Chain A
Amino acid sequence: MGRVVVIKDVPKDKKDEVKKTQEDGGATVKVTDQGNGLYTIEATYPNGDAAKNGD
């Protein structure tokens, strides 16, 4: 079963770190600028098995 995890209000200095960890978990990541120095990270995990073996 697929999952989407949305993390709001990510500070600019943490944006790349969060993005990388989600990608390392097997997710496809979309970053959206909220316009106030904060970002929203949307991580889409294809399914449970793929996410567990995202490498």
Chain B
Amino acid sequence: MRTALRIETPFLSQVGWSRWSIGASDALTSSYGTSAVLFGCSSLKGVPDRLFTVEEETAQARGLVPGLTHSSVPELTAQYYAAPARDLRNEIIARRMYIIDVQYSKYEEGLTRENQQVNFIADATSQGLNAAGTISTTAETTRIAGAVAGLVTGVKGTYQSDIVIAKTVQIIQTQMRANRDLVAARILKRLIDPIDVYPLSLALSDVEDYYRAGTLTAGLIKAADSVSTDAKQAKNEKDNTVILTTTFSSDDPTKALLKFLYPVGPTGAINVTRRNLLNAILARSTFPRAPDGQPWLVTQILYGATTADIRRQLAKAAGLM
């Protein structure tokens, strides 16, 4: 008996597999390969589309090639070089930034949509297929459904592991936005500069930075930097902490030291002068050091079983015993 399993999902149609038809004796067939899934995602490109190609940008930098008039920007650039003026420069820069913003919005929207769809649809498809396998009356169908479910889950896994941003895409987007805001602020501050201080070529260089700030690469670098900084800070805190773990112990030196430190009783205020005096004694070279190489403080050695010898030595040195 030939068992047919037909799968039609929005996810599959979007990525190019509009329909899978699988028979017990058929191999898995599809219009496109797995690569269609992967290469159809704009986030794999890592960058938004450019306003101009690199070649076009180069041509503009050389002073405008006649006929390159598909945008008003080159015309403005020509006007600028004919009669340089700050307002004209600012208009060029603002327009370029605006178009980059439009491209970026489209790119960011795609990133968000892809992330959500891959997570939701792949999960839903996998669950649906597994459920179909469970209720099927034939072992063969169960086996095929399970295999396809695994493949769909695998596609999701490949997608996510390859682009490294399944669950962190929002963090990276936040970093990208922050990067763009920083560069935008830098450009806007300079728009008041005269053209001899901030010429168009320099401003265009900043616009290039603005474009790059909105790329996946810039977002990843910034996110990695943040994580690295946090890790270093955590390591420093860990390295700077000496942990002394001891069991409670209260002996005669403890009582003598407490009586000296708290002349009005243990519930009263500590005598700071006496505390500092005891700390000064502990700082003498004849006293053992803490694991960090620095002197102990009196309050740190009052109760520990492992510091009993130190406080006995201290109490004697202070004339309390």
Contacts and interface: CB of A to CB of B under 8 A. Distances in A.
Interface of A: 1-11, 14, 17-18, 20-22, 24-27, 38, 43, 45, 47-48, 51-52, 55
Contacts of A45: 297, 300
Nearest to B272: A55
Interface of A is mostly: mixed
B246 A6 contact: yes
Contacts of B290: 3
B200 to A, nearest CB: 53
Q: Which of B247, B248, B298 has the most CB of A within 10 A?
A: B248
A10 B248 contact: yes
Interface in B245-289: 245-248, 250, 258, 261, 266-267, 270, 272, 275-276, 279
Contact of A1 (B244, B247, B272, B292): B292
A29 B247 CA distance: 16
B299 A7 contact: no
Given A7-B304, A52-B276, A1 B297 contact: no
B176 interface: no
A38 B249 CA distance: 13
Interface in B278-321: 279, 290, 292, 294, 297-300, 302-304
B247 A52 contact: no
A14 B299 CA distance: 15
Nearest to A27: B299
Given A18-B303, A25-B300, A3 B272 contact: no
Contacts of B300: 3, 5, 25, 43, 45, 51
A9 B248 contact: yes
For B242, B267, B299, B302, the residue with the greatest tally of chain A CB atoms inside 10 Å of its CB is B299
B158 to A, nearest CB: 45
16 contacts: A1-B240, A1-B294, A2-B237, A3-B241, A3-B290, A4-B243, A5-B243, A5-B244, A5-B300, A7-B247, A7-B303, A8-B246, A8-B247, A10-B303, A14-B250, A24-B275
